[in-house]
Structures are given as structure tokens and as C-alpha cells.
Amino acid sequence: MKVIKWAVLLIPIMLVSWYAIDFIRFSDYDEKKRIAEMDGNTLMLAVIQVEPDASYKLSEVKISDDTRITGMGFQSLFVNHIDDLKLGQKVRVWYKPNEDNEHIAEKVVVYSF
């Protein structure tokens, strides 16, 4: 009985801690958008909240072999490759500095908040 009581207390604490650590770890991003199109190693990102009268340009982001792709919280168990990304997912993107002014992703994190 004591084991069940401790499990009921510890599991929610561990889950909240996991999400809190991921939230802090992945909070310093360059861009927060959703995936609008995917073409090979290129993602086209759109804004998350769209106003009806406004028009928005899609951001092109290139994925290299060095790009780290992961998820936040439980999604980190299922997202670790570009093939795991889906249209409409919300992502946080960090860019690598480069000479050509291209947007090459250093890290892409999928989140669901």
C-alpha cells in the first residue's frame, strides 16, 4: 500500500519536473512557428497565429546532417529525425550562423503547448 501511495506522489512530480527542465532548456530559441511544408531537407515554416486580413511569407529552413531534431517532454521519445516531423506541428528553431545568410537549423524542437 505504501508503494502505491509513493508512486501516486512521485509520478506526477517526475512528469512536471521533466517538462519544467525541457521548458527551461529549450526556451532560448530563434523562431517559433509551425510546419507548413516539407520538401526533402527543407522545411517551410508559417506563423502560428494568423490574422484573416494579413498575408504572411513562409520561412525556408534547411536541415543539415548536424541538425538536432527532438521533441519536448514525451515527444522526445518519438521525434529524433526529419522523417518524424509532420505538417502542422509547432516547432522552435535555432539557427546556425553562416556566411550565405541562409537559414540552416542547428536545432529543431517539436512542442505541443
- Between 51 and 70, the more confident residue is 70
Is the pLDDT confidence value at 95 over 70? yes
Is the pLDDT confidence value at 113 over 70? no
In three state form, how does the secondary structure of the chain look?
CHHHHHHHHHHHHHHHHHHHHHHHHCCCCCEEEEEEEEECCEEEEECCCCCCCCCCCCEEEEEEEEEEEEECHHHHHCCCCHHHCCCCCEEEEEEECCCCCCCEEEEEEEECC
* In the chain, domain spans: 2-111
Cell digits for 66? 548536424
What percent of the chain lies above the pLDDT cut of 90? 44
**Top-tier CATH class for 2-111:** mainly beta
> In the prediction, which pLDDT does 89 show?
93
Is the pLDDT confidence value at 1 over 80? no
Q: What digits encode the pLDDT tens for the residues 9-55? A: 899 998 888 888 877 877 788 898 999 999 989 999 999 887 888 88
Q: How confident is the model at residue 99 (pLDDT cuts 50, 70, 90)?
A: confident
Q: Beta 31-39 vs 90-96: how paired, if at all?
A: antiparallel
Q: What digits encode the pLDDT tens for the residues 6-18? A: 888 899 998 888 8
> In the prediction, which pLDDT does 20 show?
85
